[in-house]
Amino acid sequence: MVTVKLFGTLRLDSGVREFTAEADSVRALYPQVLAEIRARKPDSAVTEKTLRACLVAVNGQQTTPRARLKNGDVVYLFPAVAGG
Protein backbone atom coordinates (compact mmCIF):
# COMPACT_ATOMS: atom_id res chain seq x y z
CA MET A 1 0.00 0.00 0.00
CA VAL A 2 1.37 3.43 -0.94
CA THR A 3 0.05 6.91 -0.25
CA VAL A 4 -0.38 9.18 -3.26
CA LYS A 5 -0.46 12.94 -2.82
CA LEU A 6 -1.25 15.43 -5.55
CA PHE A 7 0.10 18.98 -5.64
CA GLY A 8 -0.13 22.18 -7.60
CA THR A 9 -2.79 22.81 -10.18
CA LEU A 10 -3.29 19.05 -10.52
CA ARG A 11 -4.67 18.97 -6.98
CA LEU A 12 -6.74 22.13 -7.38
CA ASP A 13 -8.20 21.06 -10.71
CA SER A 14 -8.98 17.50 -9.63
CA GLY A 15 -10.03 18.10 -6.06
CA VAL A 16 -7.99 15.08 -4.98
CA ARG A 17 -5.48 15.69 -2.18
CA GLU A 18 -4.39 12.16 -1.30
CA PHE A 19 -5.45 8.54 -1.38
CA THR A 20 -3.94 5.11 -0.91
CA ALA A 21 -3.22 2.66 -3.72
CA GLU A 22 -1.53 -0.60 -4.55
CA ALA A 23 1.29 -0.38 -7.09
CA ASP A 24 4.87 -1.50 -7.47
CA SER A 25 5.97 1.44 -9.61
CA VAL A 26 5.02 5.05 -10.13
CA ARG A 27 3.92 4.33 -13.69
CA ALA A 28 1.58 1.60 -12.48
CA LEU A 29 -0.11 4.19 -10.29
CA TYR A 30 -1.34 6.38 -13.13
CA PRO A 31 -4.55 4.46 -13.95
CA GLN A 32 -5.46 4.46 -10.26
CA VAL A 33 -4.79 8.19 -9.96
CA LEU A 34 -6.92 8.80 -13.02
CA ALA A 35 -9.73 6.64 -11.59
CA GLU A 36 -9.57 8.54 -8.30
CA ILE A 37 -9.77 11.87 -10.12
CA ARG A 38 -12.64 10.71 -12.34
CA ALA A 39 -14.53 9.43 -9.30
CA ARG A 40 -14.25 12.89 -7.78
CA LYS A 41 -14.64 14.89 -10.98
CA PRO A 42 -16.05 12.91 -13.89
CA ASP A 43 -15.52 15.81 -16.30
CA SER A 44 -11.90 16.41 -15.29
CA ALA A 45 -9.60 17.22 -18.20
CA VAL A 46 -6.76 15.27 -16.59
CA THR A 47 -5.54 12.39 -18.73
CA GLU A 48 -2.84 9.80 -18.31
CA LYS A 49 -0.67 12.02 -20.51
CA THR A 50 -1.08 14.79 -17.92
CA LEU A 51 0.10 12.43 -15.21
CA ARG A 52 3.04 11.17 -17.24
CA ALA A 53 4.20 14.78 -17.55
CA CYS A 54 4.16 15.33 -13.78
CA LEU A 55 7.26 15.58 -11.66
CA VAL A 56 7.51 12.70 -9.22
CA ALA A 57 8.91 12.41 -5.74
CA VAL A 58 8.97 9.36 -3.52
CA ASN A 59 9.35 9.85 0.21
CA GLY A 60 10.23 13.47 -0.34
CA GLN A 61 13.00 12.91 -2.89
CA GLN A 62 12.62 13.71 -6.57
CA THR A 63 12.78 10.68 -8.84
CA THR A 64 11.54 9.48 -12.21
CA PRO A 65 8.25 7.84 -13.20
CA ARG A 66 10.22 4.59 -13.54
CA ALA A 67 10.85 4.45 -9.79
CA ARG A 68 9.87 1.24 -8.02
CA LEU A 69 7.62 1.45 -5.00
CA LYS A 70 7.45 -0.51 -1.79
CA ASN A 71 4.87 -0.78 0.91
CA GLY A 72 4.49 2.43 2.92
CA ASP A 73 6.02 4.76 0.31
CA VAL A 74 4.57 8.23 -0.13
CA VAL A 75 4.38 9.43 -3.75
CA TYR A 76 4.07 13.09 -4.72
CA LEU A 77 2.85 14.08 -8.16
CA PHE A 78 2.97 17.69 -9.26
CA PRO A 79 2.98 19.59 -12.52
CA ALA A 80 5.94 21.78 -13.43
CA VAL A 81 6.20 25.00 -11.47
CA ALA A 82 8.25 28.14 -11.56
CA GLY A 83 8.50 31.61 -10.29
CA GLY A 84 8.58 33.74 -7.17
Given the rule CB under 8 A, which residues bind other proteins? 5, 7-9, 11-12, 17, 52-55, 57, 60-62, 64-65, 76, 78-84
Q: Do residues 1 and 71 make contact, with C-beta atoms less than 8 angstroms apart?
A: yes
Q: Which is nearer to other proteins, 34 or 79 (CB)?
A: 79
Identity (one letter) of the amino acid at 23?
A: A
Reported for 36-40, long-range contacts at CB under 8 A and 24+ positions apart, including other chains, are 36/4, 40/14, 40/15, 40/16
Name the minimum Å distance from CB 79 to other proteins.
7
Nearer to other proteins (CB atom), residue 32 or residue 65: 65
